[in-house]
Amino acid sequence: MIFNMQQKKEIASQAVNNVKNNDYIGYTAFFGKKDRHRTVLIPWFTDFLSPFIPAIAKLSGYNFVNCPKTSKTSADIGLKYGNNEVCYPATLVLGDLIAEIQSGKHDPETLAVGISQTGGQCRATNYIGMVKAGLKSAGYGNIPVIVVSLGGVFQNEQSGFKLPVFKILNISINGFFFGDALNQLFAFHVVREKEKGRSQQIFDNYMELATNIILKNKPKALLGLLEDAVKDYNSIEIYDREYEKVGLVGEIFVKYNNYGQAHITEWLRTKGMEVVTPSMIEFFMQTFVNQRENVKNGINRLSEITLKLLPFTYKLLQKRLSKFEKIMSKSRAYVPEENIYKIAEKAKEILSLSNQFGEGWMIAGDVASFATKGINRVVCVQPFGCIANHIVAKGIEKRLKKNYPTMNLLFLDIDGGMAEVNLHNRLEFLITE
């Protein structure tokens, strides 16, 4: 609907009056102690991590349920109840949640909704407000919404939700490392397998086994499980030839969520390309670089203790990671995890490390990293409405091309209304050039 100037003025003055008259009512469904029994719906994120989240929540005393994998229904419902100017991932997660509530599988009276909050400069800090507004418009304004975060929580009252950080920290870290490793094994074998579907079977089996281990809170057992997974993957018959590689970088949700990225990874694999995606670990490890950079630039002031703890924590994580790496080194799929400080050094040649919104300097670092590994075809996926990633991705295209002239870069804008044929045409050019 298009409003003329007079109508716009009337709407604005009505809104001001509503606030003055205290007519505006915010979201009133809070998550208090009495709500701990509620089933908490969470949106689907990615195949190699999402199944672990309800298990970790169960250890914490909460009943989390994943929404089904993201689909066209999520996009349609998200658009219907969300603001169509938010970024595409925000639309999809809202759609996931409302679709599941509407499915009739749950009693809305016993439900809550969980959403992550990054606390950074992109919209992921404010998904909570959008989800509340969407739920209200769909008629579910009585469902409490909680922020699921190991860090700070902004703009939300959720006194009944507290994660026992020390209890779940070890298993969460190992779960992350395990999921990343299993994903690497899967991505290598799925294009090479002689028996179609075998890599997927192994992947599904180990995700289930890992979930059971997480439920028992046995972090070390995940190392043993990874050894078995490496053996199983090493035993499958594969075509022994060189495969062309395509690097995939970009916004975290569309990179790892199959529907969110319009299934381009699967499409590339049907064309015989091996798709290489940076690990999820590096996304979280970047915080060590960011903190150091922010202190250096005077953006952050950290206490003496935090300043000392940061390198100590980094070393602990690296030590833990090296245990997983040692097991992975026995696999033919193994590619060592690159040190985050080295990736940052490469990114620094392209842009300032103060660029920390969206994927920040990681996109430049990942492209540079691919170039040094001889991967010269890279797709960068950007969601519709993501200003952050347009700046730190498309905005550095010229410089990337200058520094890496043989690099073939394809920037793909992804949203619910794009034509698949157009997307595939552009990918076809990338892989045949």
Residue of minimal CB distance from ligand SF4?
122
Q: In angstroms, give the least distance from the CB of 257 to ligand SF4.
A: 11
Q: Which is nearer to ligand SF4, 53 or 386 (CB)?
A: 386
Return the C-alpha torsion angle 420, 422, 424, 429, nearest 10.
-170
Q: Which is nearer to ligand SF4, 253 or 259 (CB)?
A: 253
Q: In angstroms, give the least distance from the CB of 252 to ligand SF4.
A: 7
Q: In angstroms, give the least distance from the CB of 359 to ligand SF4.
A: 7
Look up residue 82 and give its two tokens: 């969300």
Q: In angstroms, give the least distance from the CB of 280 to ligand SF4.
A: 15
Q: Which is nearer to ligand SF4, 214 or 386 (CB)?
A: 386
Look up residue 97 and give its two tokens: 């949640």
Q: At what angle do helices 221-234 and 198-215 cross, to 10 degrees?
A: 170
Straight-line distance from the first to the last Cα atom of the chain, in angstroms, rounded to the nearest whole number: 45
Q: In angstroms, give the least distance from the CB of 366 to ligand SF4.
A: 15
Q: Which is nearer to ligand SF4, 176 or 253 (CB)?
A: 253
Dihedral sign from CA coordinates of 405, 407, 413, 417 = positive
Q: In what order do the strands lie in the sheet with 377-383?
A: 274-276, 245-250, 377-383, 408-414
H-run or E-run covering 147: strand 145-147
What does the binding site for ligand SF4 look like in residue numbers (CB under 6 A)?
87, 89-90, 122-124, 251, 253, 358, 383, 386, 388-389
Percentage helix, strand, coil, to 5, in the chain?
55, 10, 35
* Residues facing residue 414 across a β-bridge: 383
Q: Which is nearer to ligand SF4, 219 or 383 (CB)?
A: 383
Q: Which is nearer to ligand SF4, 206 or 384 (CB)?
A: 384
SS3 assignment, position 21 = coil
Q: In angstroms, give the least distance from the CB of 91 to ligand SF4.
A: 10
Nearest to 318 by CA among 288, 354, 360, 363: 288
Distance in angstroms (rounded) separating the CA atoms of residues 30 and 21: 24
- The 8-class DSSP code of residue 120 comes to S
Q: In angstroms, give the least distance from the CB of 127 to ligand SF4.
A: 7
Residue 88, exposed/middle/buried by CB under 10 A (0-12, 13-18, 19+)? buried
Q: In angstroms, give the least distance from the CB of 51 to ligand SF4.
A: 22
SS3 assignment, position 241 = coil
Q: Which is nearer to ligand SF4, 89 or 247 (CB)?
A: 89
Q: Which is nearer to ligand SF4, 123 or 136 (CB)?
A: 123
Q: What count of Cα atoms within 13 Å lies in the side-chain half-sphere of residue 144?
A: 24
The residue written with tokens 């960011």 in the block is: 290
Q: Which is nearer to ligand SF4, 47 or 251 (CB)?
A: 251
Q: Which is nearer to ligand SF4, 123 or 192 (CB)?
A: 123
Q: At what angle do helices 280-296 and 304-328 cross, to 10 degrees?
A: 150
H-run or E-run covering 249: strand 245-250
Q: In angstroms, give the least distance from the CB of 390 to ligand SF4.
A: 9
Q: In angstroms, give the least distance from the CB of 144 to ligand SF4.
A: 22
